[in-house]
Structure 1
Amino acid sequence: MKHTDTPAPTPVPAPQPRLLPWLLRLHRPGLAVWAGLVAVLALALIAMWGPLGAAAADGWRQYRDCGDSGPCGYDQDAIIRYRDVYTYTTFAVIALPFLVAAWAGAALIGRELESGTAHLAWTTGLSPTRWLAAKLAAPAALITAGTGLLVLLHHLAWSANRHRIDTSKSWYDSPTLHANGPTTVALALAGLAAGVLAGLLWRRTLPALVAGLGFTVVLRFAADLVMPYLWPSVTHVTGPDTGYFMAGVEVDSGLVTSDGRHIADPGCGPSFVDGCAEMYAKLDATGVYTEYHPESHYWPLQLTTSALLLAVAAGLVVTAFALLRRSTASTPTRTGASPRTAVSAREEVAV
């Protein structure tokens, strides 16, 4: 009887998980919290832009119409309500980057490395580099869309009411400045990158959360410090009896001497204060100067600061990929597992 060799079965490649459905299942609680937070803040900002702002503006109109005629009625509750909603929403918007950084360090990366979920994903044919790319791309898109929407609505609400409500914040008020512009979006993306890098470095949930949050706080503080110096400022000089000119983001201030030199202010005050005129005479000071950014510099300051933050974010992302490649150089990936085994592993990853 002639014997015929049976050909060896060809290994069936393990099916790779579809990245977007996998990420949505894995981080469903975080997505729900983000969507709910964006929705609530968006509704509050739309209300400020519309009925809350209109009611507060009408209350201030009633108050101004009272003049000096004595007590009269005006809608004080509407004024206070708008002020409170503005304060809470402004600080909530500028707090989003720190929330993103904490979540990225703890839930997005740190918890998966600590529990072994990430390594399990790598055994289903999903390479570590592709895993990290998916972890960054999908959240970055959602963060950009959500934060960008809230910043736009905040700017619209503030712009609509700045000249109608007497207590409206100035454009250079620090919380308003950031809540109104793209610096918050850029910082949120930098916070995402910082949290991801912290998760890869510490590989545990709590340390990654603290490290990502801490780095984002430092980054925000540094951005505030360098922002005034990213664009040329203008100088305004006044007499020593009028004090400093305050109408923008201040860069520097001091005294001007008769030969045009700028010297430090001794802190005496206007020249009509007792002893100040004599002190200025000894210093040969003829006026005071203020280096500042007027409102026309709003977008240059916003865009240069945002560009700097995005450059930092890009550097953190490059560092994260380099660190991941270095730490997973010997990590095996399963390419020849049976379909049933691969599907079971994929289902475990999605839990």
Structure 2
Amino acid sequence: MSATAPARPFRTVLRLHRTALIVWGAFVAGLIGRLVWLDEITVDAVRAAEAECSRGPWGCVDVLEALDFSQPLEQVGFLVHHGFLAVAAFAGGALIGRELESGTARLAWTQGVTPARWLAAKLLVPALVLTAGGTALVLVFRRVWAANRDLVVLADGWASADVFVARGPATVAYALCALAVGTLTALLLRRALPALAVSVTAVWLLGAVLERHRARLWPAEALPAHEEFALPDSAWRLEAVGTGHPTAYHPASHFWPLHLVETGLVLAVAVVAAVAAFAVLRRRTA
């Protein structure tokens, strides 16, 4: 009996939230399937159309053909990027808020599961699932992006907000942060619907603030105004060129420094929220 007791709250979390687990699995599988389709089917069709068009007497506009690949890829990036909002809603509402509001959590605490152990299970199980699914999405997205970079037509290129997050560990960081913030909010409000609304708003604001200030997370390069022609095509321009003023920009090589700094900031918020959640729980159950 004692050998199996430690695993009980983890199994309980999986059983109580199996619907959410299925939805998450379907979400990840669906997006990966869409990416594979784009890489294996759409790309071949686009390249075949470009080759056929280039043999014609009038040539063709490659950008129009590439949009058949680029636009769906950007849509997948949007879903990968903003999936953390759904995580915040789940954590604030169903995972923690509903159990506190209904009294289910207190019932569990009378069945040999301490509040701290209950909360640890509530956080650890979703965290593992989110990390596994998010990592898979990032790896496949990166592979499809890199293999067909010439077909990606985006105004901001690699700095496009959705693509920027979807290409690296910030995807997982935002999901874990949403889980922690949703949990903390639910413990503070103890009502499912208010916690859901506040959680989503809080993590959305965090993402919006970091996106707005993303360019400042790493020192930019600069070119004199008269050398603007030397700006690489892949560069992320930060300032419009003015007479006599340098052009500030981030080269493509700045993607990882910018991305990792943002990832670190988001994970720091996640850690603070998780620690605060345990502190609030300890104070209210003392």
> Fold conserved (TM > 0.5)?
yes
In the alignment, which of 173, 179, 190 is matched to residue 186 of structure 1? 173
Letter in 2 for 1:238: A
| Mapping 1:141-290, distance limit 5 Å | 141-163=128-150, 165=151, 167=153, 170-239=157-226, 247-253=234-240, 255=242, 285=243, 287-290=244-247
Question: d(CA) in 1 for partners of 2:283 and 2:169?
Answer: 34
- Determine whether 1:317 maps to 2:274: yes
Bigger Rg over Cα: 1
Tell me which residue corresponds to 2:10: 20
Question: 1:296 deviation in Å?
Answer: 0.7
TM-score normalised by L of structure 2? 0.89
Conservation of the 8 A alpha-carbon contact between 2:89 and 2:199:
yes
Question: 1:300 deviation in Å?
Answer: 0.9
| Mapping 1:117-136, distance limit 5 Å | 117-136=104-123
Conservation of the 8 A alpha-carbon contact between 1:112 and 1:118:
yes
Letter in 1 for 2:207: R
Question: 1:253 deviation in Å?
Answer: 4.7
- Determine whether 1:308 maps to 2:269: no
Deviations along 1:300-346, whole A, 9 cap, x unmatched? 111111011101110011111111101111xxxxxxxxxxxxxxxxx
Question: 1:152 deviation in Å?
Answer: 1.4
Tell me which residue corresponds to 1:70: 58
| Structure 2: 5+ residue stretches without partners | none
Letter in 2 for 1:292: Y
Question: 1:20 deviation in Å?
Answer: 2.2
Change in 2 beyond 3 A, CA 1:168/1:65 = farther
Question: d(CA) in 2 for partners of 1:322 and 1:127?
Answer: 14
Change in 2 beyond 3 A, CA 1:103/1:81 = same
Conservation of the 8 A alpha-carbon contact between 2:182 and 2:199:
yes
Question: d(CA) in 1 for partners of 2:6 and 2:67?
Answer: 56
Question: d(CA) in 2 for partners of 1:158 and 1:64?
Answer: 24
Conservation of the 8 A alpha-carbon contact between 2:176 and 2:267:
yes
Question: d(CA) in 2 for partners of 1:92 and 1:242?
Answer: 35
Question: 1:146 deviation in Å?
Answer: 0.5
Letter in 1 for 2:269: V
Tell me which residue corresponds to 1:112: 99
TM-score normalised by L of structure 1? 0.73
Change in 2 beyond 3 A, CA 1:149/1:240 = closer
**SS of 2:246's equivalent?**
strand
Q: Number of aligned pairs?
A: 280
